[in-house]
Amino acid sequence: MRPTSTGLFTQLAEEARVAEYEHVSDEDLPRMFYRLPTWKKIVVMVGGPFMNVVIATVLFAIVIMGFGVNQATTTVATVSDCAISDAEVGRTCTDDDPVAPARLAGLEPGDTITSIDGEAITSWEQMTRLIRANGDEPIQLGYERAGVAHTVTVTPSVVTRADLDDPQTAVNVGFLGVGPTEELQAGGVGDVVDTLGFYVEATAEAIVHLPVRMIDVAKAAFGGERDVDSPIGVVGASRLSGELVTYDDPSFAEGTARVLTLLAGLNMFLALFNLIPLLPFDGGHIAGAGWEAIRRGWSRLRSRPDPGFVDVAKALPVSYAVGGVLVVMSVILLYVDIVNPVRIS
């Protein structure tokens, strides 16, 4: 009696193998994929995700080095009415709120910050870090208005804000109360690399939290609130790309850059998602090749017979389960993208 050959999934694996071998001739047998060295198997399976990364890199390079990206300048766009913490941002100021230091100093939109305590200001980030680190000590603020240089003494307020280097940590920092204007500026190779790193980290985090986010999406299908950063499907991506080229009435260049950025992010997601070490993803085949190499290497170290190739077909139950989950996710996303879509406006 051979119980291992009568199971449902074992029979399915055997039937799949028989069907595949109908298209394989004797000359093809030495070139079968499972007979390849481990490193060749990994190279083949990494090929798809690698091309997604290449496409994402090229698209990011076109956007950043060609169209440019919005970057904060040292010119003031907005002046806050009051000094409030991050947790209160968005609410209307009241008479009980302290007036923002920039408002008290008479700063206006269009003013360009030129110096702080005699130190020349060349970027908005530099100015932000200096003010935050200053606390509530008075500073000499230099600025230009309509080409005329001015200097004013300002005492920043201290408010609770997210740490610039660790956004999860709240810290008490100096606050001036101005917002920057933004303009398109072409970046370099370093900016492309930084953007890729950011998207890799953000995408990996999104994949890790995908099950929890899908629960939220399912709730949104029945009238719950949908987060703007929730997962979207094909319909949602199509709708979002349409909104990207119409929101805020962008120029042709800016609208094109937005769509290319969306496509780049999508390719990065596909690359990392396909590397999940489960079948039917490429990552599952890579994991199988890795396990085969470990098994055979361990046998060689112990002078034991070669255990042979790993039969990835035995993992068909996992493949069917993952495939079923993907189908359910796709149906949910399709429905929610129609009845409760993500909007950027």
- What is the rounded distance in angstroms from the CA atom of residue 70 to the CA atom of residue 75? 14
pLDDT value for 165? 84
Percentages (nearest 5) of helix, strand, coil residues in the chain? 55, 15, 30
Closest CA to 293 of 5, 22, 38: 38
pLDDT value for 160? 87
Cβ contact 214:98 at 8 Å: no
pLDDT value for 6? 56
* DSSP for residue 81: S
**Tokens matching residue 44:** 């083949």
pLDDT value for 112? 95
Indicate the angle between helix axes 38-61 and 252-273, nearest 10 degrees: 160
- What is the rounded distance in angstroms from the CA atom of residue 40 to the CA atom of residue 37? 5
**What Rg value do the Cα atoms of the chain yield, rounded?**
28
pLDDT value for 8? 66
pLDDT value for 2? 43
Q: Residue written as tokens 């071998």?
A: 21
| pLDDT in 10s for each residue of the chain, 345 residues | 344 455 666 676 677 677 767 777 777 777 777 788 888 888 999 999 999 999 999 999 999 999 888 888 999 999 998 888 766 777 788 888 889 999 999 999 999 999 999 999 999 999 999 999 998 899 999 999 999 999 999 999 998 888 888 878 888 999 999 999 988 788 889 889 999 999 999 999 989 988 888 888 888 888 777 877 788 888 888 888 888 877 777 778 888 888 899 899 999 999 999 999 988 889 988 988 888 888 888 888 888 888 888 877 777 788 888 989 999 988 998 988 888 887 776
Question: Domain-by-domain residue ranges, the chain?
Answer: 1-68+187-345, 70-185
| Longest Cα–Cα distance in the chain | 96
Cβ contact 278:322 at 8 Å: yes
For 234, list phi and psi in degrees, rounded to 5: -65, -45
Cβ contact 176:100 at 8 Å: yes
pLDDT value for 3? 46
Cβ contact 191:183 at 8 Å: no
3-state secondary structure of 75: strand
Which residues make Cβ contacts (< 8 Å) with residue 335, sequence separation at least 6? 221
Q: Could you please report the per-residue DSSP string of 203-227?
A: HHHHHHTHHHHHHHHHHHTTT----
Closest CA to 7 of 284, 317, 279, 324: 317
Cβ contact 135:158 at 8 Å: yes
Choose the CATH number for 70-185 among 2.30.42.10, 3.30.70.870, 3.40.50.720, 3.20.20.140: 2.30.42.10
